[in-house]
A and B are shown apart, each in its own frame.
Chain A
């Protein structure tokens, strides 16, 4: 069975500084990896995904993520944080194939607070 770990419940960063939200995963075979963002009392919004190819994936709102197969990580990054980036961020994984490929498995989420 696949799993996702987001080791930090909360990340605080000053506005204008770079931000990183960490994610590691466990899956049989190759993974499809996703990042979503959730604002209070709202559904999840898709940010970016890794399918194959270039390890650096660019997504919405200036976010990017780096896939590292040897470290089984997919950390979310942004060069310069905005106060409006403050939200709950979820990493998710699906395997390429097999019974588990029908299921998107989420981490527990990381709350990002950008301080003005």
Chain B
């Protein structure tokens, strides 16, 4: 978990509500990632960012939005358009380039009320 902080640890969303998950890193990494984990499905990429003020959609971006205004921060918003948001959300960061390790935060568990 190291230098990547995710908050909150648990989050509850009401119908029609947008919620924002925080991810902060102090590792001076250029690249940051958001994954969704569902039981038995592994990790699926939602969004990634290789540099400040730039980000790309992953495999399951619909219903989610992100921003990357600072190198250290990559918040994820789960919008009301995401009809099945209950999952474990993991943020990761790493040096740019495919051979580099991605380091993960401790995760945020999102549930729907």
Contacts and interface: CB of A to CB of B under 8 A. Distances in A.
B42 A96 contact: no
Contacts, number: 57
Contact of A90 (B33, B43, B48, B105): B43
A104 B102 contact: yes
A3 B40 CA distance: 16
A43 B3 CA distance: 12
A22 interface: no
B40 A108 contact: yes
Interface string A28-57: 000010101000011111100101000000
- Chain B interface main SS type: strand
B98 A32 contact: yes
Given A41-B109, A43-B1, A44-B90, A49 B48 contact: no
A17 to B, nearest CB: 26
A interface residue count range (under 10 / 10 to 19 / 20 to 34 / 35 or more): 20 to 34
Interface of B: 1, 4, 6, 33, 40-45, 48, 50, 56, 58, 88, 90, 92, 98-99, 101-107, 109
Interface of A: 9, 32, 34, 36, 41-46, 49, 51, 90, 94-97, 101-104, 106-109
